[in-house]
Amino acid sequence: MASPYQNSCQIFSAHEIDSLRKGGAILRDCLAHVAALVRPGITTIELDRAAESFIRKRGGKSAFKGYHNYPATLCTSINDVCVHGIPGKEVLKEGDIIALDCGVLFGDLYTDACITVPVGKISRNAEMLLSATAEALVAGLSKVRAGARTGDISSAIHETLLERGFDAMRQLTGHGLGDGLHQFPEIPNVGKAGSGSVIPLHTIIAIEPISTAGSTKIKEDDDGWTLRTGDGAFSAHFEHTVLVTEEGGEILA
């Protein structure tokens, strides 16, 4: 069933926020667990199985598996893959970077988060890309508060990436979530401060800078899911699910 919140922000009750906090805790712990398994020689399907087992044991459900027929619990996006890399037999190698994107359904509410981690020793440029993208997420989070506009977040993300010599993938955005995995508002990673939708108190948003060390164009693989940078440059992805408060944002996952 589609979420009704495609043109307006969903506002959450205290009970729902408590449930979202619990689901977010499962997701945070899951990503930490899976990130600790990342090493040269492991396959992405092994990481996916670990994530699915962890979420199930904690009483949650995978938000991604079955979503528009997506086949896995994680998106495992390696090197030039921006988003939606499907776990499989691919073996991680020294020098790779991998984005671990995951969602949890708990109490009929969704949370969504991503981290990008190194596989063994990575290049200096890859280190800088990961650092810049993580900093862009922090910059975006700093603009969150009731009454802010989505463009405030977008502008902070993009300016941070540009200052560090990188760019944002324009076609890929953050979003609202709650009853559905993707809801209003859309939160682009490029934008103008003071523009966009007003973000109300007690809504939930996913902020997710997706960066590139090269082209901002995207290529889609034949699987219909995997999206890559147009020139093969590395891409990084960090994401938090955030509760909007009067003072700022509370990170849920």
Say if residue 101 carries a ligand binding annotation.
Answer: yes
The two beta strands, 174-176 and 210-212, are unpaired
48 annotated as a binding-site residue:
no
CA pair distance 71, 183, nearest whole angstrom: 21
Instruction: Note whether 129 and 236 are within 8 A (CB).
Output: yes
Task: Please report, for residues 4, 35, 187, 190, 212, the alpha-carbon distance to residue 197 in angstroms, rounded to integers and kept in the order given.
Answer: 17, 34, 9, 14, 26
Ligand-binding annotation for 16, yes or no, is no
**Both tokens of residue 176?**
């609202």
Task: For residues 219 and 64, give the distance between their C-alpha atoms in angstroms, rounded to a whole number.
Answer: 22
β-pair partners for 207: 240
Residue 94 assigned as binding residue: no
84 is in an annotated binding site: yes
Provide the residue type at 99 as one letter. Answer: A
Read off the DSSP letter of residue 49.
H
Give the tokens for residue 15: 């009970």
Instruction: Single out the residue of 228, 217, 221, 213 nearest to residue 77, CA to CA.
Output: 228
How many of the other CB atoms lie within 10 Å of CB of 41?
A: 11
Give, in order, the Cα–Cα distances in Å from 55 to each of 59, 140, 188.
6, 28, 29
Q: Annotated binding site for a divalent metal cation: which residue ranges? A: 101, 112, 175, 208, 239
The binding site for substrate consists of 84, 182
- Which residues make up each annotated binding site? 84, 101, 112, 175, 182, 208, 239
